[in-house]
Structure formats: structure tokens, C-alpha cells
Amino acid sequence: MTKAGSKGGNLRDKLDGNELDLSLSDLNEVPVKELAALPKATVLDLSCNKLSTLPSDFCGLTHLVKLDLSKNKLQQLPTDFGRLVNLQHLDLLNNRLVTLPVSFAQLKSLKWLDLKDNPLDPVLAKVAGDCLDEKQCKQCANKVLQHMKAVQADQERERQRRLEVERVGPADRFSAVSLSSTPAASQPWSLDSYGIGFCWTQPLFSVRPTCHHQMAADWYLRPPLCRTSLFLSQGSLVE
């Protein structure tokens, strides 16, 4: 496994002002720890290597302004790639990317993006465009950011919907069932044998003794779902 700069000093030797060129270095792993020790290196060239993944801690290199990852073997970007909030220029030419992480929407400083020669999802490919020149790469950055923001918003709405479904308890789900809509014939037992009957009445709940010292219980579900009342008696319906 080839890894450039096993010591921070090796990378410092390659630093030219604020630019660090690690292209054509036969890398299949990014020396993140050493790069983090060089905050002055705001321009990083990792093109023409053998990178298939980026470690999650790569997203901690928030000092990066320009990043070249072209001509590697990247199949995906880290979930938290959007933490690189200072990134203005990103070259992802000729990789194996199909989609971008939702956090990509957080790259608010991005002004230039090249996604050419990637097996992109058809929708994303249409948004990105051809990226054949400077103007198109700038348009790509703007359009892809807008697209990813829309994707992020859709996912947030779906998350809120699921939370709402989980918040609804069993009692709320039961109240949506109308007893009157269920035919008596479909019941596995006879209500008549238990002295239970149904009638329509106004929303109310009461438990009171009758003139024959019987107890009557009226049960109502809130309208408009159901306005069915349930009576318990000995042989006949109360009221």
C-alpha cells in the first residue's frame, strides 16, 4: 500500500506556497493526518492516483479551498463531505461516482465543479451538464448545489413524516376505526349473546345506574370518524 508522506516533513517538502501537489504519486490512501498538520495547504492536488475511497476524517480538512481528485477510482464520497465548507473549486473528473452525498448541499462556497466522465445517475448527469469548459463547470457547481438542496429538503420532509407516524400511538390509530362500518356477520362471536348493542346518538360518555339498578355504559368515538354508542344491559338495550 503506497502512502505519501509517512512523516509530516515529507509533505512539507512538496508544499509550494499554499499549494500541495501529490498527483501521480501512486497513492491508494490519503495521508489525512499529515495533511491536517498543514493548514496553509489550501490547494491540494490528488489527481492521477489510485484512490477508491476517502476516509471520513478527510472531511475535517476544512481549510481546503481547491481540491483536485480527478482521474482516480472513487466510487463514492464520504457522507460528511459537506463539512468542507470553504471549498470553491472541486475537480472529480474521470472517477466512478454514481451519486453525491446529501451533505454536498452544504458546500455553499463552491463555484466550480467538474463531474465529467463519471457513471452518474441519469438525473444527476442531466443536472451536471457536459462540463466542457470553464463556463459550464461554473454552471455545474450552481445547478448541482441547487439539486442537492432539493434532495436534502425532500429527505427532511420524509424524515418528519416518519417521525409523525411514529408519534401516533395505538390509541390514536384505534380511534380511526369505525365500529359501525364493520358488519356484525364478520365478527367471530355474537354481540347479542353478550347483551351488547349499538345505536346513533350525540357524542357523550356516561356511566350511570338505571331505574332497575342496572349499569349503563355509553361509549362514543369522536365524529366524524364514528358516532356509535355502546350499551351494556341485561336482556334489552338502555334508552
CA nearest neighbour of 114 among 85, 152, 141, 142:
141
pTM of the predicted structure, to 2 decimals: 0.67
Q: Is it the case that residue 200 has pLDDT exceeding 60?
A: no
Q: How far apart are CA 155 and CA 163, in angstroms?
A: 12
Domain 8-156 has CATH 3.80.10.10: yes
Give the per-residue pLDDT at 3. Answer: 54
At 15-43, the pLDDT tens digits run 999 999 999 999 999 999 999 999 999 99
Residue 221 DSSP code: P
- The domain ranges of the chain are 8-156, 177-232
At 39-80, the pLDDT tens digits run 999 999 999 999 999 999 999 999 999 999 999 999 999 999
Alpha carbon of residue 115 to chain centroid:
22
CB atoms within 10 A of CB 203: 11
Is residue 71 within 8 Å of 46, Cβ to Cβ? no
Q: How far apart are CA 147 and CA 128, in angstroms?
A: 9
Residue 49 in grid coordinates: 492516483
Alpha carbon of residue 211 to chain centroid:
62
